[in-house]
Amino acid sequence: MSLLRQPILLLARSERVKQLVSILPVSSGIVTSYVPGETTQSAVDATAGLADAGLHATLDFLGEDTLDAEQADATVAAYTDLLSSLAARGLTRGAEVSVKLSAIGQALPDNGHKIALENARTICRAARNAGTSVTLDMEDHTTTDSTLAILRELRKDFPETGAVLQAYLHRTEADCRALAYEGSRVRLCKGAYNEPESVAWQDKLDVDLSYVRCLKVLMAGHGYPMIATHDPRMVEIASSLASRYGRVQGSYEFQMLYGIRPEEQRRLAAAGESVRVYVPYGHEWYGYLMRRLAERPQNLTFFARSLISKS
């Protein structure tokens, strides 16, 4: 991994740095490169723009590690409002939502797992009524078992609910095998949290090798793989594996983050591939931004320049 990755991820937990960064308006330089805005309207407008370009979307109302039940309820309300707004614009055919369980109660000290499950059910119901679906984002490794347990419960009533697995965790290849069944939607990403060596690969090559092993499992399985990567090599490998396992376009999709490699997103879509863009929005963009910087440390200079000019 880049030598800058872990220091940047540590900054994502720093309240002091967060307070300084938060003086930046969302329209500032590096922020707006990754986050289209803070409001439901800005998220819906971004989704419409992607749809015009032949791209699908998955929308994330930013927030995590919520320790306040009222804030968890507010996040649920934000998602239901978003889904209603997407439906009103006729956008739900190509747009779903991504939900972090820690933002809707998973981290609450009393009955967090149960609260997150019930809140997730509310969002899944709203999504189905709007004509779309939900994908459960994966967070740090301490939440993996709880998240997968909630996924199993949700899929009893909402089998369309998507899962996310992170290739840098040692356990993920086995999790892929368990989830590669018919009707199962699985987003495979590399992972963006600062995880210990005991549970996660630390070297970039090891993470890449794990990603390919996991991708083989999903492509050979009976589910719907969602290939979350910006790495040109992984895009090429995914295309090759699709051909090897007889997958037609539309039986899998590529996923990329809002603002990253937009030309490649459009190129793949023009070639007939299904491409979905991860669109984050809301006031709680700091942690998300820092993880994106950790993935692409070359952006740190631009970010620091923006911060200094506002301080």
Q: pLDDT exceeding 70 applies to what percent of the chain?
A: 83
- pLDDT for 12 equals 54
- pLDDT for 65 equals 87
Average pLDDT (85-103) is: 97
38-54 pLDDT, tens digit per residue, is 899 999 999 999 999 99
Please say if the pLDDT value at position 197 is more than 90: yes
Active-site amino acid positions: 137, 187
Average pLDDT (190-207) is: 93
- pLDDT for 149 equals 98
The predicted model scores a pTM of: 0.88
Q: Specify the amino acid at residue 125.
A: R
Q: pLDDT exceeding 90 applies to what percent of the chain?
A: 76
118-174 pLDDT, tens digit per residue, is 999 999 999 999 999 999 999 999 999 999 999 999 999 999 999 999 999 999 999
Please say if the pLDDT value at position 28 is more than 70: no
Please say if the pLDDT value at position 300 is more than 70: no
- pLDDT for 305 equals 54
Average pLDDT (246-261) is: 95
Average pLDDT (65-89) is: 97
Q: What is the dihedral of CA 232, 235, 241, 243, to 10 degrees?
A: -110
CA pair distance 268, 272, nearest whole angstrom: 7
Q: Regarding predicted confidence, which is higher, 303 or 174?
A: 174
- pLDDT for 1 equals 45
- pLDDT for 310 equals 44
Distance set, CA 86 to CA 50, 95, 135, 146 (Å): 13, 8, 16, 29
